[in-house]
Amino acid sequence: MLETPRKLSYLAVMKIVQVASELFPYVKTGGLADAAGSLSATLAGHGHNVSVFLPGYRAVLDHHDASGIERLLRIKIEMGDVFMSGEVRVFSPRPNQKIYLICRDELFDRKGVYGNGERDYEDNYHRYIFFCKGVIESLRQLNLQADIVHAHDWQAAMLPLLLRYTERRTATPLALKTIFTIHNIAFQGLFPMRSFHRTNLPDELRGVDGVEYYGQMNFLKAGILFADRVTTVSPRYAQEIQTPEFGCGLDGVIATRAEDLAGLLNGIDTTVWNPATDTHLPATYTAADLAGKATCRTGLLKKLKLDPASPDIPVYGMVCRLTEQKGVQLLLANRDFFLNNDVRLAILGAGDKRLEQAVRDLAAAAPRKIGLAMRLDEAMSHLIEAGSDYFLMPSLFEPCGLNQMYSLAYGTPPLVTQVGGLHDTVRDADAPDTAATGTGITFAPDAHALRDGLRRSLALFADKPRHAAVQARGMATDNSWDKAAQSYEHLYAEML
Ligand code: ADP
Ligand code: GLC
């Protein structure tokens, strides 16, 4: 971990630029939106001057929370051998924070964010190079003089390199330091090498010392190599991605930056995820008075048309993208557990068509016990967190994971695999060394270990005082962004 810098230096006001392809509440496909949204809002709350750059998707331009959007600049971006025009719009959702939208309808006025539901858009390289260059052009025209430019995930990964190259070519300083955060190394932004010419970077950057990865162009690799610092979203994942098992082919590249790599845990937005104030719930509750949680439980079962369940019958919840990452296969391999025991299971998720069908089949096998909502549904995700007795997160890998932290806050002990951020945020209630401090149930990422975890959850549920203690410890855990953002402030200050 990084050392704490000189006292007070992190309190100095910094000009921070955050660049991401998603931002809660305006556009979200996963945790990246939550993380980028909360980090930038919290930094603004701490008094920093925060500018966020986001593609001007139609969904954002039309979003009811994005009020007062104004046209700010015209931009002309060199994309290979043509120039493409665009526009920058801006609004300010809170003091100290401005959100800039890089707009060009041809690229961002589409139904999906990254694809049409079946496939990714074929011109994604084009869309996100335009986006990164649009950010750089805005920094130049606005003369923002950023202290820190912080880029997130592959969509913004070309930014540090393009920015430094532009500074050199135009002899105009744009930012003191750049930082790149990997939210998921499995998504790299791999494109045919012919897309390279859109970057207008010199040919020497085409090769293996540049963006090339087995004959293709790899955006994420550029972020890892050319940012001043690289971070990822949990200490454990920072170690894991240096190994072939979790590095998705980039472990060697990561290893070259090991000294500049840090794992900083995400937090949760406690204004959105707090059972005491949650407006999505039929009743609110606190650790001191859990009566409302029982109301949510009844409401959840009813909403999914499941049989009522006495307090002795555990309700399991799961909310995730239905992809291999999330361990859906491990759940399916344990279908007997859900069919043969008197339990309930509530699943909210969409994604991979094959897994969607398999989960549909599972629910169809016991429609009164297993409820399924196959869509994006913010309100339902809150109801599952609140109305379940246990939350399932058997991920094969998990850079950080947010739902296990929401679960802790909602008194819903999570059942998680011992990987990435799950390892760093949940303590096992049965293991001898953590029994007294346990907040959930943890196990290895395989189907047998999940089965064992599920069995242990039944035993824990039958032992009401112990279950209540696990629940209470989870609810008392501070996973707020207030705390999480401080690690970034320390890091920024140290870099400066
Ligand atoms: P990832 O980013 O890998 O998908 P995270 O745990 O970091 O995983 O974040 C996922 C976020 O997306 C959480 O806020 C979760 O509640 C939300 N989410 C996932 N699937 C759905 C869904 N079907 N409906 C509503 N929210 C969802
Ligand atoms: C990614 C990861 C997830 C993480 C999120 C926010 O989508 O899969 O584990 O919580 O980014 O950092």
List the residue whose alpha carbon is closest to atom 11 of ligand 2. Answer: 183
pLDDT at 403: 98
pLDDT at 345: 98
Q: What separation in Å is there between the alpha carbon of 275 and the centre of ligand 2?
A: 22
Q: Identify whether the C-beta of residue 495 lies closer than 8 Å to the C-beta of residue 463.
A: no
Which residues, in sequence order, are CB contacts of 457 under 8 Å at separation 6+? 314, 316, 390, 413, 415, 441
The C-alpha R_g of the chain, in whole angstroms, comes to 23
> Which residues sit with their C-beta closer than 6 Å to ligand 2?
30-32, 35, 183-184, 233, 266, 398-402, 421
Q: What separation in Å is there between the alpha carbon of 255 and the centre of ligand 2?
A: 21
Nearest C-alpha neighbor of 222 from the set 262, 261, 250, 263: 250
Nearest C-alpha neighbor of 162 from the set 180, 186, 144: 180
Phi, psi dihedrals of residue 153, rounded to the nearest 5°: 60, 175
pLDDT at 11: 61
Q: Nearest ligand, CA of residue 326?
A: 1
Closest ligand 1 atom, residue 184 Cα: 3
Nearest C-alpha neighbor of 479 from the set 445, 433, 439, 442: 439
325: left (phi over 0), alpha (psi -120 to 50) or beta: alpha
**Full-model pTM:** 0.94
* Rounded CA separation 375/321 (Å): 10
DSSP string over 330-383:
HHHHTHHHHHHSS-EEEEEEEE-HHHHHHHHHHHHHSTTTEEEE-S--HHHHHH
DSSP string over 100-123:
EEEE-HHHH-SSSSSBSSSSB-TT
Instruction: Measure CA 248 to chain center.
Output: 18
364: left (phi over 0), alpha (psi -120 to 50) or beta: alpha
Closest ligand 2 atom, residue 183 Cα: 11
How big is the chain, counted in residues? 496
* Rounded CA separation 362/374 (Å): 13
Q: What separation in Å is there between the alpha carbon of 3 and the centre of ligand 2?
A: 25
Q: Nearest ligand, CA of residue 234?
A: 2
Q: What is the pLDDT along the chain (496 residues), one digit of tens a residue?
A: 333 333 334 468 999 999 999 999 999 999 999 999 999 999 999 999 999 999 999 999 999 888 899 999 999 999 999 999 999 999 999 999 999 999 999 999 999 999 987 899 999 999 999 999 999 999 999 999 999 999 999 999 999 999 999 999 999 999 999 999 999 999 999 999 999 999 999 999 999 999 999 999 999 999 999 999 999 999 999 999 999 999 999 999 999 999 999 999 999 999 999 999 999 999 999 999 999 999 999 999 999 999 999 999 999 999 999 999 999 999 999 999 999 999 999 999 999 999 999 999 999 999 999 999 999 999 999 999 999 999 999 999 999 999 999 999 999 999 999 999 999 999 999 999 999 999 999 999 999 999 999 999 999 999 999 999 999 999 999 999 998 999 999 999 999 9
pLDDT at 6: 34
pLDDT at 8: 37
Only one residue has tokens 């346990």, namely: 438
Beta bridge partners of residue 268, listed in sequence order: 480
Q: Identify whether the C-beta of residue 30 lies closer than 8 Å to the C-beta of residue 22.
A: yes
Q: Domain limits of the chain?
A: 15-267+481-495, 291-475
Q: Identify whether the C-beta of residue 443 lies closer than 8 Å to the C-beta of residue 427.
A: no
What is the sign, positive or negative, of the torsion defined by CA atoms of 392, 394, 395, 400?
Answer: positive
Which numeric CATH code is attached to 291-475? 3.40.50.2000
Closest ligand 1 atom, residue 403 Cα: 6
Nearest C-alpha neighbor of 184 from the set 154, 141, 214, 158: 154
Per CATH, 15-267+481-495 and 291-475 having the same topology is answered yes
pLDDT at 495: 96
Q: What separation in Å is there between the alpha carbon of 185 and the centre of ligand 2?
A: 10
Which of the listed residues 152, 183, 320, 393 should we mutate to test ligand 1's pocket, taking the one with most ligand atoms within 8 A of CB?
Answer: 320
Q: What separation in Å is there between the alpha carbon of 377 and the centre of ligand 1?
A: 10
What is the sign, positive or negative, of the torsion defined by CA atoms of 198, 201, 204, 209?
Answer: negative
* Rounded CA separation 438/408 (Å): 11
pLDDT at 271: 92
Closest ligand 1 atom, residue 28 Cα: 12
List the residue whose alpha carbon is closest to atom 4 of ligand 1. Answer: 30
List the residue whose alpha carbon is closest to atom 10 of ligand 2. Answer: 401
Closest ligand 1 atom, residue 401 Cα: 6
Q: What separation in Å is there between the alpha carbon of 321 and the centre of ligand 1?
A: 6
Closest ligand 2 atom, residue 233 Cα: 12
Class of domain 15-267+481-495: alpha beta
